[in-house]
Amino acid sequence: QSVLTQPPSVSGAPGQRVIIPCTGTSSNFGAGYDVHWYQQVPATPPKLLIYGTTNRPSGVPDRFSGSKSGTSASLAITGLQTEDEADYYCQSYDASLRGWVFGGGTKLTVL
């Protein structure tokens, strides 16, 4: 059971907008810690997609955006493309566990 909760899967058609939620607790998001998002294409390492809740590293398209409110965070992907099909993980710091924690991951299928 992951400290951060994500749905196992989401799907959308090309061009659509999808949201991947990530639910935390008062000891991570609720304590003010940022959320970070990673994209993992099969058989490759995770790639940082969003850092510090809302920031995109250089090279990440602006179709990807992140947000956080209270104990919940989300990743939004607009203009869905087939190349976006991957697993997405949220991650934060947990003060109660005194360590870094991940969500269980969400598989995005582009229909």
Q: Which two tokens stand for residue 23?
A: 């639910």
Under the binding rule (CB under 8 A), the answer on residue 93 touching another protein is: yes
**Residues that contact another protein, how many (by CB under 8 A):** 26
Closest distance between another protein and the C-beta of residue 14, in Å? 27
What whole-number distance in Å separates Cα of residue 37 and Cα of residue 86?
12
Task: Using CB under 8 A, pick the residue from 41, 97, 109, 111 that binds another protein.
Answer: 97
What whole-number distance in Å separates Cα of residue 106 and Cα of residue 83?
15
Under the binding rule (CB under 8 A), the answer on residue 101 touching another protein is: yes
Under the binding rule (CB under 8 A), the answer on residue 38 touching another protein is: yes
What whole-number distance in Å separates Cα of residue 48 and Cα of residue 1?
23
Q: How many Cα atoms sit within 13 Å of 37 on the Cβ side? A: 29
What whole-number distance in Å separates Cα of residue 53 and Cα of residue 67?
6
Task: Using CB under 8 A, pick the residue from 105, 108, 110, 111 that binds another protein.
Answer: 105
Q: Return residues touching another protein (CB under 8 A).
A: 2, 33-34, 36, 38, 44-48, 51-52, 57, 89, 91-93, 97-105
